Amino acid sequence: MVHFIPVNNRKAGLIMVLAMLIIGFIDNYIAVIAETASLWQFQIMRAGLALPILLIISAFGLGVLKPIRWWAVYFRSFLTALSMLFYFGSLAFVTFADALAGLFTAPIFVLLISAFFLRHPIGPIRIIAVVIGFLGILLVLGNTANEFSYISLLPAIGGFFYACGSVATRQLCMGESTLSMLAALLIIQASIGFIAIFCLSIFGLDAPLGADGFIVRIWAWEMSSFIWWVVLQAVGATIGVGLIFKAYQIGDASYVSIYEYSVFIFGPAFAWLLMDQPVAALQALGILCITFAGVLIAFRSGSK
């Protein structure tokens, strides 16, 4: 018998805000981890700490770990893992606000993928939203135009792959459990980490000191400076992502997605308080454009 979960948009919105508060806090510390650890080590350790939590949750009957369609869940998880790879990797080189702005271009890319590949009509309002969103991207990137490098594009590439993962979730993973998709994502991330470390070991690249070595560093055996931040990430991400899924379970997607943008309040606020990362005027304007575009897309999606 199918059990229908009643819609409670107010509760869903509060849950989403709490999730964004947690994520906006914990992701700031990836920059600290990047000083001595490697991106690949971070992904392996994070998965190694989070997967047992999922096993315990499943053992208490709070979710199913086994996918219905393995290939669909792992394909979707691979796309999402790529997005997180670009997002996490960028946090060693750009401000947290820049990284968030790039990742949250995902709704814009979802709209473009839906229009050009799935042949869904999008209408003039959402076309305007896309234009405003890309203007926001240019403003965020233009904030550091004098120091522009391809590293600045990493968060937006992450946003593209996140959009691909979102489309795959809707098209291929209907009916799959939250726990199975989260476990698959962690397994894929750890697998990518092991493959990257193996390849880097073969090439024998010299990793620069500090955050500059985050992507090319292999493994740091002295973990005292970052181990507890990885634990914080593993536990916090498990709770935060679980709350996100819960919010979407009990609320209308077009309504709940708007509350995701509260991370633009929490993330930069924590970055300013904890990491001394101020938000420049152009950067703030770009973030507002991306947020407005995402909210507009969400509203129009809910009124179809």
Sorted by sequence, the CB contacts under 8 Å of residue 270 that are 6+ apart come out as 24, 25, 28, 96
Task: Label residues 6-17 b or e (16+ Cβ within 10 Å = b).
Answer: eeeeeebbebbb
Check pLDDT > 90 for residue 18.
Answer: yes
Check pLDDT > 80 for residue 27.
Answer: yes
Q: What pLDDT, on the 0 to 100 scale, is given for residue 108?
A: 78
Which position has the higher pLDDT, 229 or 141?
229
Q: What pLDDT, on the 0 to 100 scale, is given for residue 147?
A: 54
Give CA–CA dist 272/284, Å, rounded. 13
Q: How far is CA 10 from CA 13, 133, 213, in A?
A: 5, 27, 44
Helix 39-59, helix 227-250: angle, nearest 10: 50
Enter the DSSP assignment of 5.
P
Which position has the higher pLDDT, 146 or 75?
75
* Ranges 178-182, 184-188, 225-229: which has the least confidence: 178-182
Q: Report CA 14 to chain centroid distance, whole Å.
A: 19
Give the mean pLDDT of 33-61: 91
Domain ranges of the chain: 9-98+150-278
Sorted by sequence, the CB contacts under 8 Å of residue 103 that are 6+ apart come out as 83, 87, 155, 158, 159, 162
Residue 210, sorted as left (phi over 0), alpha (psi -120 to 50) or beta, turns out to be left
Task: Label residues 67-92 b or e (16+ Cβ within 10 Å = b).
Answer: beeeebbbbbbbbbbbbbbbbbbbbb
Alpha-carbon torsion (47, 99, 104, 168), positive or negative: negative
Q: What pLDDT, on the 0 to 100 scale, is given for residue 22?
A: 94
Give the mean pLDDT of 244-254: 71
pLDDT tier at 3, thresholds 50, 70, 90? very low
Sorted by sequence, the CB contacts under 8 Å of residue 136 that are 6+ apart come out as 101, 285, 286, 287, 288, 289, 290, 291, 292, 293
pLDDT tier at 7, thresholds 50, 70, 90? low
Which position has the higher pLDDT, 253 or 163?
163
Alpha-carbon torsion (124, 130, 132, 135), positive or negative: negative
Give the mean pLDDT of 200-212: 83
Q: What pLDDT, on the 0 to 100 scale, is given for residue 2?
A: 39
- The pTM is what? 0.83
* Ranges 17-31, 211-225, 272-286: which has the least confidence: 272-286
pLDDT tier at 4, thresholds 50, 70, 90? very low
